[in-house]
Structure 1
Amino acid sequence: MAKGAILQDLKRARRSGKPVRVDREIDCADRLDAYVVGIGRKWVLLHTISNELRLDGHSVIRLRDIKCATRSGWKGAAMTHRALALRGECVQSPAGIDLDSTAGLIETLTEAFPLIAVYLEKVDPYVCYIGRAQRITRKKRLRLQEIGPAADWALTYSTNKTTDITRFDVGGGYIDALHAVGGDPPEC
C-alpha cells in the first residue's frame, strides 16, 4: 500500500475514534490492535488494546514501517470497541508527545512516563529494552538505564543507535508493574 494511502487511513481512523489493526513491514514484528491518537512526520502514537480486550498503554511506531492500518478485514473491531465502551475504558492521548523527531520523541516520552520500552525489531524482533532514558549522545545513540524482569536496575547504561529503534511502549500493565516494584533508577 502506498505511504500516502496509509497516512490517510491513519488520519481517518483517528477522526473516527475506531480501533485499527496495524501491520508493519518488519519481519516478525507484532501486529498491533489500537486506537490512533497521534500522527507526526516520523512517528504514530497508538493507544494499544491487549489480547484481553483492555486498553493497555501506548505504542509509538515509525510511520515508514507501516504496511497496513485498517478496520476492514478485522471482524472483531466493532465488538472490541463496544466491549471497551461497556467497561468504561476511554482512549487517551498523552499530551505534548513530539512525533516529528526521534530525539524529541524520546525526550517527551521520558518527561511523561517513568519507564520506556525500546524495540529494535529489525536487529532482533524478540527483544525489548525497558528502562529510563538518560540522554541521546552526539553520535545519536540512546543511553538507557535498564530495569530487568525482576525489577532490578542496572548500574550502567546500554546504548543503541536511534536509527535502529522501531517502536517504543509506555504505560501498560507490565511496564507500570516494573516501575511499581523497582521504583526510580539509582544514580549511575
Structure 2
Amino acid sequence: MAKKRSFLLRAVEEKLLIRFSRPFEWGSVKGYVLDVGPKFILMAVFGDGFTLDGFLCCRIADIRNLKCASDSIASMYQTVLNKRGQEIPSRPTIDLANVESILQTANQAFPLVAIHREKTKPGVCHIGCVTEISEGRFWMREIDTDASWGEDELFRYKLSDVTLVEFDGDYERGLHEAGGSPPLK
C-alpha cells in the first residue's frame, strides 16, 4: 500500500496521466490524480473518449494494475485537450479525510453526487443529493434516470458500503439540467 500511495503522490506532483483497474468494473480508469487522502483519491477522469468527464473519489485499496501512460499516449491526450481548449481541472474543494467528508463536501460543491456500493450492490449507482449524515449512515434524495425527483422518499445507506463517489460528470450535469434541484419539502 505504501508503494501505491507513493506512486499516486508522484502522479499528483508531476500531473501524470495514469490508468488503473478496479475489481468491480470492466476496463480501466484513466485520468489525473488531483489529491491523495488516507483511504481515497480524488481524480479528474476521462470518459470513453478524449474528454475529461468529471471527478471520482475511489478507495486506494481497490486500485489494481496502476500504471503511468506512456509518454506518447500522455502527449496525445494532452494534444487533444489543448486542441479542444480543455485543461486538467483545478482540484475541487473535496475533503478526502473519510467517506462522510467526501460526501459532505462534494454535495456542497456540486448539485448531484453519484455513489456506488459495489460490494453490496454491484452495478448499481445512486444519484442525488445527500440530505443528512449521522451515526455511520447517510440519506439521499435520488433523481431517476428520466431526471425526475422521487416523492418525499429518502434512501438510507451505510457510509462503510461506499466504494466510489462521482460528481460533475456529463451524466450528472445532464440530469441536473433536465431535472433541476430537488423539491424542497
Instruction: Report 1:50-129 matches (<5 A).
Output: 50-71=47-68, 76-129=73-126
Task: Kindly state the Cα deviation for residue 77 of structure 1 after the two structures are TM-superposed.
Answer: 3.5
Is 1:144 the counterpart of 2:137? The answer is no
In the alignment, is the contact (CA less than 8 A) between 2:128 and 2:142 conserved in 1? Answer: yes
Aligned pair in 2 of structure 1 residues 54, 72: CA closer, same or farther (>3 Å)? closer
TM-score where L is the length of structure 1: 0.90
Match of residue 17 from structure 1: 15
Provide the C-alpha distance between the structure 2 equivalents of 1:170 and 1:34, rounded to a whole number of angstroms.
Answer: 14
How far off its partner does 1:51 sit? Answer: 1.2
Pairs within 5 Å for 1:151-170? 151-155=147-151, 156-170=153-167
- Under a length normalisation based on structure 2, what TM-score does the superposition of the two structures give? 0.91
| Residue 184 (str. 1) matches residue 181 (str. 2) | yes
Q: 1:61 to 1:118 in 2, by over 3 A?
A: same
Instruction: Report the RMSD for the aligned CA atoms in angstroms.
Output: 1.8
Contact 2:17 2:68 in 1 (8 A): yes
Alignment length (residue pairs) = 184
Tell me whether 112-121 or 62-71 shows the greater mean CA deviation.
62-71
Q: Which runs of 5+ in 2 are unaligned?
A: none
Aligned match of 2:5: 7
Q: Percent identity?
A: 30
Residue 34 (structure 1) aligns with: 31
- Aligned-partner Cα distance in 1 for 2:55–2:142: 19
| Alpha-carbon displacement from aligned partner over 1:49-79 (angstroms, at most 9, x marks no partner) | 1112101100110122212321157973432
Q: Secondary structure at the match of 1:57?
A: strand
Gap regions ≥5 residues in structure 1: none
